[in-house]
Structure 1
Amino acid sequence: MESIECTRGCPKTSKINEGLVKDDFTPSKLGTKEYWDDAYQRELQTFKDIGDVGEIWFGEESMDRVLRWMEKEEIPEDAAILDIGTGNGVLLVELAKSGYTNLTGIDYSAASVKLARSVLQREYFSNVEVKEVDFLRCSGELSGFDVCIDKGTFDAISLNPENTEDGKACYIQSLRGALKEEGLFIITSCNWTKEQLLQMFSQGFDFVKELPTPRFQFGGKTGNSVTAIIFKRRH
Protein backbone atom coordinates (compact mmCIF):
# COMPACT_ATOMS: atom_id res chain seq x y z
CA MET A 1 0.00 0.00 0.00
CA GLU A 2 1.26 3.42 -0.90
CA SER A 3 1.30 5.87 1.98
CA ILE A 4 2.35 9.48 1.60
CA GLU A 5 3.80 11.20 4.62
CA CYS A 6 3.93 14.92 4.04
CA THR A 7 6.23 17.21 5.91
CA ARG A 8 4.84 20.54 4.78
CA GLY A 9 2.40 22.03 7.23
CA CYS A 10 0.28 25.15 7.38
CA PRO A 11 1.25 28.28 9.29
CA LYS A 12 -0.89 28.63 12.37
CA THR A 13 -1.48 32.27 11.56
CA SER A 14 -2.17 33.10 7.94
CA LYS A 15 -4.41 35.16 5.72
CA ILE A 16 -6.40 32.00 5.07
CA ASN A 17 -7.48 31.88 8.71
CA GLU A 18 -8.80 35.43 8.49
CA GLY A 19 -11.43 34.38 5.96
CA LEU A 20 -12.67 31.36 7.86
CA VAL A 21 -16.11 31.28 9.41
CA LYS A 22 -16.15 30.72 13.15
CA ASP A 23 -18.53 27.91 13.97
CA ASP A 24 -20.40 26.78 17.05
CA PHE A 25 -20.30 23.08 16.24
CA THR A 26 -19.88 20.72 19.16
CA PRO A 27 -16.62 18.77 18.70
CA SER A 28 -17.41 15.24 17.64
CA LYS A 29 -15.71 11.88 17.26
CA LEU A 30 -16.80 12.16 13.61
CA GLY A 31 -13.88 14.55 13.24
CA THR A 32 -11.24 12.10 14.46
CA LYS A 33 -9.09 9.68 12.51
CA GLU A 34 -9.69 6.99 15.13
CA TYR A 35 -13.43 7.06 14.40
CA TRP A 36 -12.95 6.60 10.65
CA ASP A 37 -10.28 3.95 11.07
CA ASP A 38 -12.70 1.91 13.18
CA ALA A 39 -15.66 2.60 10.87
CA TYR A 40 -13.85 1.58 7.70
CA GLN A 41 -12.28 -1.44 9.34
CA ARG A 42 -15.81 -2.64 10.13
CA GLU A 43 -17.02 -1.84 6.60
CA LEU A 44 -13.99 -3.62 5.13
CA GLN A 45 -14.82 -6.75 7.10
CA THR A 46 -18.49 -6.52 6.08
CA PHE A 47 -17.46 -6.17 2.43
CA LYS A 48 -15.27 -9.27 2.74
CA ASP A 49 -18.10 -11.18 4.43
CA ILE A 50 -21.14 -10.24 2.33
CA GLY A 51 -19.98 -7.82 -0.38
CA ASP A 52 -21.78 -4.77 1.04
CA VAL A 53 -19.85 -1.54 0.25
CA GLY A 54 -21.25 0.28 3.29
CA GLU A 55 -22.70 3.73 3.65
CA ILE A 56 -22.83 6.12 0.71
CA TRP A 57 -22.21 9.53 2.21
CA PHE A 58 -25.24 11.81 1.53
CA GLY A 59 -26.83 9.04 -0.55
CA GLU A 60 -26.69 8.11 -4.21
CA GLU A 61 -28.41 11.33 -5.26
CA SER A 62 -25.40 13.33 -4.08
CA MET A 63 -23.21 11.43 -6.55
CA ASP A 64 -25.76 11.66 -9.35
CA ARG A 65 -26.02 15.43 -8.82
CA VAL A 66 -22.28 15.89 -9.33
CA LEU A 67 -22.12 13.51 -12.30
CA ARG A 68 -25.05 15.24 -14.04
CA TRP A 69 -23.34 18.60 -13.68
CA MET A 70 -20.02 17.27 -14.96
CA GLU A 71 -21.75 15.74 -17.97
CA LYS A 72 -23.66 18.96 -18.67
CA GLU A 73 -20.45 21.00 -18.48
CA GLU A 74 -18.72 18.46 -20.72
CA ILE A 75 -15.83 17.82 -18.35
CA PRO A 76 -13.37 15.86 -20.54
CA GLU A 77 -13.17 12.14 -19.84
CA ASP A 78 -9.40 12.41 -19.44
CA ALA A 79 -9.63 15.25 -16.90
CA ALA A 80 -7.48 14.63 -13.82
CA ILE A 81 -9.99 14.16 -10.98
CA LEU A 82 -9.22 13.89 -7.26
CA ASP A 83 -11.73 12.43 -4.79
CA ILE A 84 -10.80 13.94 -1.39
CA GLY A 85 -11.66 11.50 1.39
CA THR A 86 -12.73 8.68 -0.90
CA GLY A 87 -14.13 6.43 1.85
CA ASN A 88 -15.42 3.24 0.23
CA GLY A 89 -14.51 4.43 -3.28
CA VAL A 90 -18.08 4.28 -4.62
CA LEU A 91 -17.83 7.78 -6.13
CA LEU A 92 -14.72 6.67 -8.02
CA VAL A 93 -16.65 3.66 -9.32
CA GLU A 94 -19.46 5.88 -10.59
CA LEU A 95 -16.98 8.29 -12.20
CA ALA A 96 -15.27 5.37 -13.92
CA LYS A 97 -18.61 3.99 -15.11
CA SER A 98 -19.34 7.44 -16.57
CA GLY A 99 -16.20 7.18 -18.69
CA TYR A 100 -13.67 9.18 -16.70
CA THR A 101 -10.23 7.62 -17.02
CA ASN A 102 -7.82 9.74 -14.93
CA LEU A 103 -9.07 9.20 -11.39
CA THR A 104 -7.34 9.40 -8.01
CA GLY A 105 -8.82 8.81 -4.58
CA ILE A 106 -7.17 9.69 -1.28
CA ASP A 107 -8.02 8.98 2.33
CA TYR A 108 -6.05 9.13 5.58
CA SER A 109 -7.56 5.84 6.78
CA ALA A 110 -5.64 2.74 5.70
CA ALA A 111 -8.81 0.67 6.07
CA SER A 112 -10.65 3.06 3.73
CA VAL A 113 -7.93 2.65 1.11
CA LYS A 114 -8.12 -1.15 1.36
CA LEU A 115 -11.92 -1.03 1.09
CA ALA A 116 -11.92 1.37 -1.88
CA ARG A 117 -9.38 -0.73 -3.74
CA SER A 118 -11.43 -3.87 -3.07
CA VAL A 119 -14.65 -2.23 -4.30
CA LEU A 120 -12.94 -0.89 -7.42
CA GLN A 121 -11.38 -4.26 -8.16
CA ARG A 122 -14.75 -6.00 -7.87
CA GLU A 123 -16.14 -3.54 -10.43
CA TYR A 124 -13.13 -4.16 -12.70
CA PHE A 125 -11.67 -0.68 -12.21
CA SER A 126 -8.47 -1.73 -10.47
CA ASN A 127 -6.52 0.76 -12.60
CA VAL A 128 -7.97 3.65 -10.56
CA GLU A 129 -5.32 5.02 -8.19
CA VAL A 130 -6.13 5.11 -4.48
CA LYS A 131 -3.58 6.45 -2.00
CA GLU A 132 -3.29 6.73 1.76
CA VAL A 133 -2.84 10.49 2.20
CA ASP A 134 -3.54 13.01 4.95
CA PHE A 135 -4.81 15.91 2.85
CA LEU A 136 -4.24 18.43 5.63
CA ARG A 137 -0.52 17.68 5.65
CA CYS A 138 0.03 17.45 1.92
CA SER A 139 0.26 21.02 0.72
CA GLY A 140 2.39 20.88 -2.41
CA GLU A 141 2.45 17.06 -2.57
CA LEU A 142 -0.68 16.76 -4.72
CA SER A 143 -0.96 18.93 -7.83
CA GLY A 144 -2.17 19.15 -11.40
CA PHE A 145 -5.82 18.20 -10.92
CA ASP A 146 -8.56 19.61 -13.13
CA VAL A 147 -11.34 18.72 -10.68
CA CYS A 148 -11.36 18.07 -6.92
CA ILE A 149 -14.46 16.59 -5.30
CA ASP A 150 -15.33 16.62 -1.60
CA LYS A 151 -18.41 14.89 -0.24
CA GLY A 152 -18.29 15.27 3.55
CA THR A 153 -14.55 15.48 4.24
CA PHE A 154 -14.51 19.21 4.94
CA ASP A 155 -17.50 18.63 7.23
CA ALA A 156 -15.55 16.04 9.23
CA ILE A 157 -12.57 18.40 9.52
CA SER A 158 -14.94 21.02 10.91
CA LEU A 159 -15.90 18.64 13.73
CA ASN A 160 -12.35 17.79 14.78
CA PRO A 161 -11.97 18.45 18.53
CA GLU A 162 -8.41 19.75 18.06
CA ASN A 163 -7.09 22.68 16.00
CA THR A 164 -10.27 23.03 13.96
CA GLU A 165 -9.45 26.46 12.54
CA ASP A 166 -5.93 25.40 11.59
CA GLY A 167 -7.35 22.27 10.00
CA LYS A 168 -9.71 24.25 7.78
CA ALA A 169 -6.89 26.61 6.81
CA CYS A 170 -4.63 23.67 5.93
CA TYR A 171 -7.42 22.16 3.85
CA ILE A 172 -7.81 25.31 1.78
CA GLN A 173 -4.06 25.61 1.30
CA SER A 174 -3.80 21.97 0.18
CA LEU A 175 -6.75 22.44 -2.15
CA ARG A 176 -5.10 25.42 -3.81
CA GLY A 177 -1.99 23.36 -4.37
CA ALA A 178 -3.87 20.35 -5.73
CA LEU A 179 -5.89 22.23 -8.35
CA LYS A 180 -4.63 23.68 -11.59
CA GLU A 181 -5.40 27.36 -12.22
CA GLU A 182 -9.08 27.57 -13.12
CA GLY A 183 -9.50 24.01 -11.87
CA LEU A 184 -12.91 23.16 -10.42
CA PHE A 185 -13.77 22.27 -6.81
CA ILE A 186 -17.08 20.53 -6.10
CA ILE A 187 -18.07 20.39 -2.43
CA THR A 188 -21.14 18.84 -0.81
CA SER A 189 -21.73 19.76 2.84
CA CYS A 190 -24.38 19.18 5.48
CA ASN A 191 -22.70 21.47 8.04
CA TRP A 192 -22.23 24.67 6.08
CA THR A 193 -24.61 26.97 4.22
CA LYS A 194 -23.91 28.47 0.81
CA GLU A 195 -23.06 31.83 2.38
CA GLN A 196 -20.59 30.27 4.83
CA LEU A 197 -18.84 28.25 2.12
CA LEU A 198 -18.58 31.33 -0.10
CA GLN A 199 -16.91 33.21 2.74
CA MET A 200 -14.51 30.41 3.68
CA PHE A 201 -13.35 29.78 0.12
CA SER A 202 -13.34 33.44 -0.92
CA GLN A 203 -9.54 33.67 -0.90
CA GLY A 204 -8.30 31.95 -4.01
CA PHE A 205 -11.60 30.64 -5.37
CA ASP A 206 -14.47 32.08 -7.39
CA PHE A 207 -18.07 30.95 -7.09
CA VAL A 208 -19.38 29.15 -10.19
CA LYS A 209 -22.70 27.58 -9.31
CA GLU A 210 -24.88 26.15 -6.57
CA LEU A 211 -26.35 22.76 -7.42
CA PRO A 212 -30.00 22.16 -6.44
CA THR A 213 -30.36 19.99 -3.35
CA PRO A 214 -33.34 18.71 -1.31
CA ARG A 215 -35.24 21.43 0.56
CA PHE A 216 -37.33 21.29 3.72
CA GLN A 217 -39.68 23.54 5.67
CA PHE A 218 -39.66 23.93 9.43
CA GLY A 219 -41.18 26.65 11.58
CA GLY A 220 -42.23 28.64 8.56
CA LYS A 221 -38.70 28.72 7.16
CA THR A 222 -37.28 26.92 4.14
CA GLY A 223 -33.78 25.48 4.04
CA ASN A 224 -31.57 22.86 2.42
CA SER A 225 -30.58 19.57 4.04
CA VAL A 226 -27.24 19.72 2.18
CA THR A 227 -25.37 22.35 0.20
CA ALA A 228 -23.51 21.65 -3.05
CA ILE A 229 -21.27 24.36 -4.49
CA ILE A 230 -18.93 24.60 -7.49
CA PHE A 231 -15.84 26.81 -7.16
CA LYS A 232 -13.09 27.67 -9.62
CA ARG A 233 -9.49 28.19 -8.55
CA ARG A 234 -8.47 31.76 -9.16
CA HIS A 235 -5.25 32.66 -11.01
Structure 2
Amino acid sequence: MEVDRESMNRCGGNTSDLEEEKCSDNDFGSSVLGTQEYWENVYQRELETFKDIGDVGEIWFGEESMNRVLRWMDKAKIPENAAILDIGTGNGAFLVELAKSGYKNLTGIDYSAASVELARSVLLAEDLTDVTIKEMDFLNCQGELKGFDVCIDKGTFDAIILNPNNTEEGKRLYVKALRAALKDQGFFAITSCNCTQEQLADRFKEGFELVQQLPTPSFQFGGKTGNSVTALIFKRVV
Protein backbone atom coordinates (compact mmCIF):
# COMPACT_ATOMS: atom_id res chain seq x y z
CA MET A 1 0.00 0.00 0.00
CA GLU A 2 2.77 2.38 -0.87
CA VAL A 3 2.05 5.69 -2.56
CA ASP A 4 3.13 7.50 -5.73
CA ARG A 5 4.90 10.68 -4.62
CA GLU A 6 3.82 12.79 -7.59
CA SER A 7 0.15 11.84 -7.16
CA MET A 8 0.04 12.39 -3.42
CA ASN A 9 2.10 15.50 -2.66
CA ARG A 10 -0.51 17.85 -1.18
CA CYS A 11 1.80 20.13 0.83
CA GLY A 12 3.35 22.36 -1.78
CA GLY A 13 6.72 20.65 -1.56
CA ASN A 14 6.98 20.29 2.23
CA THR A 15 8.64 23.62 2.96
CA SER A 16 9.17 22.36 6.48
CA ASP A 17 11.85 24.94 7.34
CA LEU A 18 9.16 27.62 7.48
CA GLU A 19 7.01 27.07 10.55
CA GLU A 20 4.37 29.54 9.51
CA GLU A 21 3.85 27.82 6.13
CA LYS A 22 3.69 24.18 7.13
CA CYS A 23 0.37 22.53 6.40
CA SER A 24 -1.66 21.15 9.24
CA ASP A 25 -2.74 17.55 9.71
CA ASN A 26 -6.21 18.52 8.55
CA ASP A 27 -5.19 20.08 5.22
CA PHE A 28 -5.48 16.85 3.21
CA GLY A 29 -8.58 16.12 1.20
CA SER A 30 -9.86 12.60 0.72
CA SER A 31 -8.72 10.64 -2.33
CA VAL A 32 -9.18 7.27 -4.03
CA LEU A 33 -5.47 6.83 -3.23
CA GLY A 34 -6.59 6.18 0.33
CA THR A 35 -8.92 3.31 -0.54
CA GLN A 36 -8.25 -0.42 -0.52
CA GLU A 37 -10.10 -0.83 -3.80
CA TYR A 38 -7.66 1.48 -5.57
CA TRP A 39 -4.60 -0.43 -4.39
CA GLU A 40 -6.16 -3.81 -5.11
CA ASN A 41 -6.65 -2.69 -8.72
CA VAL A 42 -3.10 -1.30 -8.94
CA TYR A 43 -1.48 -4.48 -7.70
CA GLN A 44 -3.75 -6.72 -9.74
CA ARG A 45 -2.47 -4.96 -12.86
CA GLU A 46 1.13 -5.20 -11.67
CA LEU A 47 0.67 -8.88 -10.83
CA GLU A 48 -0.59 -9.60 -14.33
CA THR A 49 2.34 -7.65 -15.82
CA PHE A 50 4.80 -9.58 -13.68
CA LYS A 51 3.32 -12.88 -14.81
CA ASP A 52 3.50 -11.76 -18.44
CA ILE A 53 6.95 -10.17 -18.67
CA GLY A 54 8.57 -10.39 -15.24
CA ASP A 55 8.38 -6.65 -14.53
CA VAL A 56 7.99 -6.10 -10.76
CA GLY A 57 6.33 -2.71 -11.25
CA GLU A 58 7.12 0.69 -9.82
CA ILE A 59 9.37 1.19 -6.82
CA TRP A 60 7.47 3.87 -4.93
CA PHE A 61 9.61 6.91 -4.06
CA GLY A 62 12.39 5.36 -6.21
CA GLU A 63 15.37 3.19 -5.34
CA GLU A 64 17.01 6.00 -3.38
CA SER A 65 14.22 5.84 -0.81
CA MET A 66 15.24 2.24 -0.06
CA ASN A 67 18.95 3.00 -0.12
CA ARG A 68 18.43 5.91 2.27
CA VAL A 69 16.93 3.62 4.92
CA LEU A 70 19.47 0.87 4.25
CA ARG A 71 22.33 3.33 4.80
CA TRP A 72 20.78 4.39 8.11
CA MET A 73 20.37 0.74 9.17
CA ASP A 74 24.04 0.11 8.41
CA LYS A 75 25.18 3.17 10.37
CA ALA A 76 22.84 2.31 13.24
CA LYS A 77 24.32 -1.21 13.26
CA ILE A 78 20.95 -2.92 13.03
CA PRO A 79 21.89 -6.61 13.40
CA GLU A 80 21.24 -9.02 10.54
CA ASN A 81 18.91 -11.09 12.73
CA ALA A 82 16.77 -8.09 13.75
CA ALA A 83 13.03 -8.64 13.31
CA ILE A 84 11.98 -6.21 10.57
CA LEU A 85 8.42 -5.37 9.45
CA ASP A 86 7.67 -3.76 6.08
CA ILE A 87 4.29 -2.04 6.51
CA GLY A 88 2.40 -1.97 3.21
CA THR A 89 4.94 -4.05 1.33
CA GLY A 90 3.43 -3.51 -2.14
CA ASN A 91 5.46 -5.52 -4.65
CA GLY A 92 7.97 -6.60 -2.00
CA ALA A 93 10.87 -4.73 -3.62
CA PHE A 94 12.12 -3.39 -0.29
CA LEU A 95 12.07 -6.88 1.23
CA VAL A 96 14.23 -8.07 -1.67
CA GLU A 97 16.79 -5.33 -0.99
CA LEU A 98 16.75 -6.01 2.75
CA ALA A 99 17.35 -9.71 2.15
CA LYS A 100 20.16 -8.99 -0.32
CA SER A 101 21.71 -6.71 2.33
CA GLY A 102 21.91 -9.67 4.69
CA TYR A 103 18.83 -9.23 6.88
CA LYS A 104 17.33 -12.59 7.72
CA ASN A 105 14.19 -12.02 9.83
CA LEU A 106 11.85 -10.21 7.46
CA THR A 107 8.07 -9.81 7.39
CA GLY A 108 5.95 -7.88 4.93
CA ILE A 109 2.24 -7.14 5.24
CA ASP A 110 -0.33 -5.59 2.93
CA TYR A 111 -4.13 -5.47 2.92
CA SER A 112 -4.21 -6.08 -0.83
CA ALA A 113 -4.47 -9.75 -1.76
CA ALA A 114 -2.95 -8.98 -5.19
CA SER A 115 -0.02 -7.21 -3.51
CA VAL A 116 0.65 -10.23 -1.34
CA GLU A 117 0.58 -12.59 -4.32
CA LEU A 118 2.84 -10.24 -6.29
CA ALA A 119 5.34 -9.86 -3.42
CA ARG A 120 5.51 -13.63 -2.94
CA SER A 121 6.06 -14.11 -6.66
CA VAL A 122 8.82 -11.49 -6.78
CA LEU A 123 10.59 -13.01 -3.77
CA LEU A 124 10.31 -16.50 -5.22
CA ALA A 125 11.80 -15.28 -8.50
CA GLU A 126 14.77 -14.00 -6.47
CA ASP A 127 14.99 -17.38 -4.69
CA LEU A 128 14.19 -15.69 -1.37
CA THR A 129 12.01 -18.25 0.36
CA ASP A 130 12.57 -17.32 4.02
CA VAL A 131 10.66 -14.01 3.96
CA THR A 132 7.22 -13.97 5.60
CA ILE A 133 4.40 -12.27 3.66
CA LYS A 134 0.96 -11.79 5.20
CA GLU A 135 -2.31 -10.41 3.89
CA MET A 136 -3.19 -8.12 6.78
CA ASP A 137 -4.62 -4.68 7.45
CA PHE A 138 -2.17 -2.94 9.77
CA LEU A 139 -4.99 -0.94 11.34
CA ASN A 140 -6.84 -4.12 12.31
CA CYS A 141 -4.08 -6.60 13.05
CA GLN A 142 -5.64 -7.53 16.41
CA GLY A 143 -2.30 -7.74 18.21
CA GLU A 144 -0.89 -10.32 15.78
CA LEU A 145 2.16 -8.15 15.06
CA LYS A 146 4.60 -7.79 17.93
CA GLY A 147 8.25 -8.09 18.86
CA PHE A 148 9.73 -6.19 15.92
CA ASP A 149 13.04 -4.35 16.21
CA VAL A 150 12.40 -2.15 13.15
CA CYS A 151 9.21 -1.13 11.35
CA ILE A 152 9.43 0.55 7.93
CA ASP A 153 6.77 2.59 6.13
CA LYS A 154 7.15 4.11 2.66
CA GLY A 155 3.84 5.79 1.88
CA THR A 156 1.34 3.69 3.82
CA PHE A 157 0.68 6.38 6.40
CA ASP A 158 0.24 8.82 3.50
CA ALA A 159 -2.55 6.65 2.11
CA ILE A 160 -4.25 6.41 5.50
CA ILE A 161 -4.52 10.18 5.85
CA LEU A 162 -6.22 10.34 2.43
CA ASN A 163 -8.80 7.67 3.22
CA PRO A 164 -12.29 9.15 2.65
CA ASN A 165 -13.66 7.32 5.70
CA ASN A 166 -12.73 7.61 9.38
CA THR A 167 -9.43 9.37 8.74
CA GLU A 168 -8.86 10.41 12.35
CA GLU A 169 -9.67 6.93 13.60
CA GLY A 170 -7.29 5.48 11.03
CA LYS A 171 -4.43 7.67 12.22
CA ARG A 172 -5.15 6.75 15.84
CA LEU A 173 -5.24 3.04 15.03
CA TYR A 174 -1.99 3.32 13.08
CA VAL A 175 -0.11 4.73 16.07
CA LYS A 176 -1.67 2.11 18.35
CA ALA A 177 -0.71 -0.74 16.00
CA LEU A 178 2.81 0.62 15.63
CA ARG A 179 3.32 0.80 19.38
CA ALA A 180 2.08 -2.78 19.72
CA ALA A 181 4.29 -4.08 16.90
CA LEU A 182 7.57 -2.52 18.04
CA LYS A 183 9.71 -3.63 20.95
CA ASP A 184 10.62 -0.99 23.52
CA GLN A 185 13.51 1.03 22.02
CA GLY A 186 12.64 -0.38 18.59
CA PHE A 187 12.97 1.89 15.55
CA PHE A 188 10.37 3.21 13.11
CA ALA A 189 11.54 4.50 9.71
CA ILE A 190 8.91 6.48 7.80
CA THR A 191 9.06 8.11 4.37
CA SER A 192 6.24 10.50 3.50
CA CYS A 193 5.51 12.75 0.54
CA ASN A 194 2.61 14.50 2.27
CA CYS A 195 3.79 15.27 5.79
CA THR A 196 6.47 17.58 7.10
CA GLN A 197 8.85 16.69 9.90
CA GLU A 198 6.79 18.79 12.28
CA GLN A 199 3.55 17.03 11.37
CA LEU A 200 5.01 13.56 11.77
CA ALA A 201 6.75 14.46 15.03
CA ASP A 202 3.43 15.72 16.37
CA ARG A 203 1.50 12.67 15.16
CA PHE A 204 3.94 10.22 16.77
CA LYS A 205 4.74 12.21 19.90
CA GLU A 206 2.84 9.78 22.12
CA GLY A 207 5.17 6.86 22.76
CA PHE A 208 7.86 7.74 20.22
CA GLU A 209 11.01 9.86 20.23
CA LEU A 210 12.30 11.49 17.06
CA VAL A 211 15.86 10.25 16.55
CA GLN A 212 16.87 11.89 13.29
CA GLN A 213 15.81 13.21 9.91
CA LEU A 214 17.37 11.45 6.94
CA PRO A 215 18.62 13.68 4.10
CA THR A 216 16.24 13.87 1.15
CA PRO A 217 16.30 15.85 -2.12
CA SER A 218 15.65 19.56 -1.59
CA PHE A 219 14.51 22.34 -3.90
CA GLN A 220 14.24 26.10 -3.88
CA PHE A 221 11.24 28.13 -4.98
CA GLY A 222 10.70 31.83 -4.42
CA GLY A 223 13.78 32.02 -2.24
CA LYS A 224 12.50 29.26 0.08
CA THR A 225 13.92 25.79 0.56
CA GLY A 226 11.90 22.62 0.97
CA ASN A 227 11.97 18.85 0.53
CA SER A 228 9.91 16.73 -1.83
CA VAL A 229 9.78 13.91 0.72
CA THR A 230 10.33 13.61 4.45
CA ALA A 231 12.22 10.64 5.93
CA LEU A 232 12.41 10.28 9.70
CA ILE A 233 13.60 7.76 12.26
CA PHE A 234 11.66 7.37 15.52
CA LYS A 235 12.35 5.23 18.56
CA ARG A 236 9.61 3.61 20.62
CA VAL A 237 9.75 4.73 24.24
CA VAL A 238 7.65 3.84 27.25
Q: TM-score, normalised by structure 2?
A: 0.89
Q: Secondary structure of the residue that 2:187 maps to in structure 1?
A: strand
Q: How does 1:80-91 map to 2 (within 5 A)?
A: 80-91=83-94
Determine the structure 2 residue equivalent to 1:161: 164
Deviation per residue, 1:176-221 (Å, 9 max, x gap):
0000000000000000000110000000000101000000111221
Q: Residue 45 of structure 1: CA displacement?
A: 0.1
Determine the structure 2 residue equivalent to 1:10: none
Asked whether 1:26 is paired with 2:29, we answer yes
Determine the structure 1 residue equivalent to 2:213: 210
Q: Which amino acid aligns with 2:128?
A: F
Deviation per residue, 1:78-103 (Å, 9 max, x gap):
00000000000000000000000000
Q: Which amino acid aligns with 2:173?
A: C
Determine the structure 1 residue equivalent to 2:9: none
Determine the structure 2 residue equivalent to 1:140: 143
Determine the structure 2 residue equivalent to 1:6: none
Determine the structure 2 residue equivalent to 1:171: 174
Contact residue 106 and residue 130 of structure 1 kept, 8 A: yes
Provide the rounded CA distance (Å) in 2 between the counterparts of 1:215 and 1:139: 39
Q: Residue 22 of structure 1: CA displacement?
A: 3.2
Determine the structure 2 residue equivalent to 1:222: 225
Determine the structure 1 residue equivalent to 2:236: 233
Alignment: residue pair count: 215
Q: Residue 139 of structure 1: CA displacement?
A: 4.3
Deviation per residue, 1:69-127 (Å, 9 max, x gap):
10111100000000000000000000000000000000000000000000000011022
Asked whether 1:125 is paired with 2:136, we answer no
Which one of 184, 190, 196 corresponds to residue 193 of structure 1? 196
Q: Residue 140 of structure 1: CA displacement?
A: 1.7
Provide the rounded CA distance (Å) in 2 between the counterparts of 1:158 and 1:26: 9
Contact residue 25 and residue 199 of structure 2 kept, 8 A: no
Determine the structure 2 residue equivalent to 1:54: 57
Contact residue 139 and residue 177 of structure 1 kept, 8 A: no
Provide the rounded CA distance (Å) in 2 between the counterparts of 1:74 and 1:205: 20
Q: Which moved more, 1:136-145 or 1:149-158?
A: 136-145
Q: Residue 129 of structure 1: CA displacement?
A: 0.4
Name stretches of at least 5 consecutive residues in structure 2 with no aligned partner: 1-23
Q: Which moved more, 1:22-31 or 1:83-92?
A: 22-31
Provide the rounded CA distance (Å) in 1 between the counterparts of 2:212 and 2:109: 25
Provide the rounded CA distance (Å) in 2 between the counterparts of 1:164 and 1:182: 28
Name stretches of at least 5 consecutive residues in structure 1 with no aligned partner: 1-20
Provide the rounded CA distance (Å) in 1 between the counterparts of 2:160 and 2:33: 9
Provide the rounded CA distance (Å) in 1 between the counterparts of 2:25 and 2:153: 20
Q: Residue 141 of structure 1: CA displacement?
A: 1.7
Contact residue 216 and residue 223 of structure 1 kept, 8 A: yes
Provide the rounded CA distance (Å) in 1 between the counterparts of 2:221 and 2:120: 41
Determine the structure 2 residue equivalent to 1:115: 118
Q: Residue 26 of structure 1: CA displacement?
A: 1.6
Asked whether 1:78 is paired with 2:92, we answer no
Q: Secondary structure of the residue that 2:191 maps to in structure 1?
A: strand
